[in-house]
Structure 1
Amino acid sequence: MYTNILVPLAPDHGAVKDKSLDVARKLMGPGGRITVLTVVETVPAYLTHYLEAGREEANRRQIAQELAAEFAGTPEIAVAAVLGHPAQTILDLAERDGHDCIVIASHKPGLQDLFLGSTAARVVRHAQCGVHVLR
């Protein structure tokens, strides 16, 4: 059983949220904790001048507030919304905060994944802890 589980969710997490949290709860041991993480992908530097000042941070704050409201009253779940590159941010946070398991959803691999790789695939390849991938 795991005691510190990270559940990354895309901002538009929809139906995958319930499945991911159900699996995380089944894997969690007594006294365990789940952190729901949304990574707000940063805009490339060459495009930032098209955005109003502070737009990325405002988006992150809004998503953090929505997550907090969605999981209010669920003491075993903490929430976080951070700016960054999804795969690397998930890996960095998992290592920094001592997560012993990551529960991450994945899509069916497509042709684009052969060249770039999916977030879930990168997390699986580089995580320092257990990773449970959902399809």
Structure 2
Amino acid sequence: MYKNILVPIAFDETRDSRAALEIAHAISEDGAAITALHVVEEIPSYVAQYLPEAQHKTNLDEIGEALKAKVNGDAGVTVKVVEGHAGHSIVEYAAQNGIDCIVIASHRPGFQDYFLGSTAARVVRHASCAVHVVR
């Protein structure tokens, strides 16, 4: 099956990240690497200048801890937090880290995103590896 799987995690109740992690384990080879990735939108410079100097790092550390809690200490899952636009950053991370499958949760579509959520749709269209969408 797959040797290096990426599972983007959103802190959003409409996306089933637990199911995405279960699927990642189910389709992984023995000894496969599974990475849970959360993308944080970059803070605009006009806002960042008003934050205390260490605030940004503190925020990223707290998000990393929350992500670890969300995956419930799942053995064999590495946790990563990156900054940027979600769709772009997921595809870029996959390309730079030899990911061979992305397992991404998508919410039930509304009228504005008829088939897939905007992040899932971008990943499906632009990823150079296999993508498994969980609903």
Normalised-by-shorter TM-score class: 0.7 to 0.9
TM-score, normalising length: structure 2: 0.83
Distance 1:59 1:26 in 2: 32
Conservation of the 8 A alpha-carbon contact between 1:8 and 1:103: yes
Which runs of 5 or more structure 2 residues have no equivalent in the other structure? none
Aligned to 1:22: 22
Aligned to 1:43: 43
Structure 2 counterpart of 1:104, which letter? I
Distance 1:15 1:96 in 2: 25
Alpha-carbon offset, residue 110 of structure 1: 2.1
Aligned to 2:110: 110
Root-mean-square deviation (Å)? 2.4
Is 1:125 matched with 2:125? Answer: yes
Structure 1 counterpart of 2:128, which letter? Q
Conservation of the 8 A alpha-carbon contact between 1:11 and 1:39: no
Which runs of 5 or more structure 1 residues have no equivalent in the other structure? none
Distance 1:90 1:13, change over 3 A: farther
**50-59 vs 4-13, which deviates more?**
50-59
Distance 1:12 1:110 in 2: 16
Q: Residues 17-65 of structure 1, C-alpha deviation per residue, up to 9 Å, x if partnerless?
A: 2211110001101111100001111234454455444544322111112
Q: Residues 68-98 of structure 1, C-alpha deviation per residue, up to 9 Å, x if partnerless?
A: 4555471x21110111111111011100000
Distance 2:102 2:74 in 1: 23
Aligned to 2:7: 7
Aligned to 1:97: 97
Conservation of the 8 A alpha-carbon contact between 1:9 and 1:38: yes
TM-score, normalising length: structure 1: 0.83
Distance 1:63 1:86, change over 3 A: same
Distance 1:54 1:42, change over 3 A: farther
State the number of aligned residues. 132
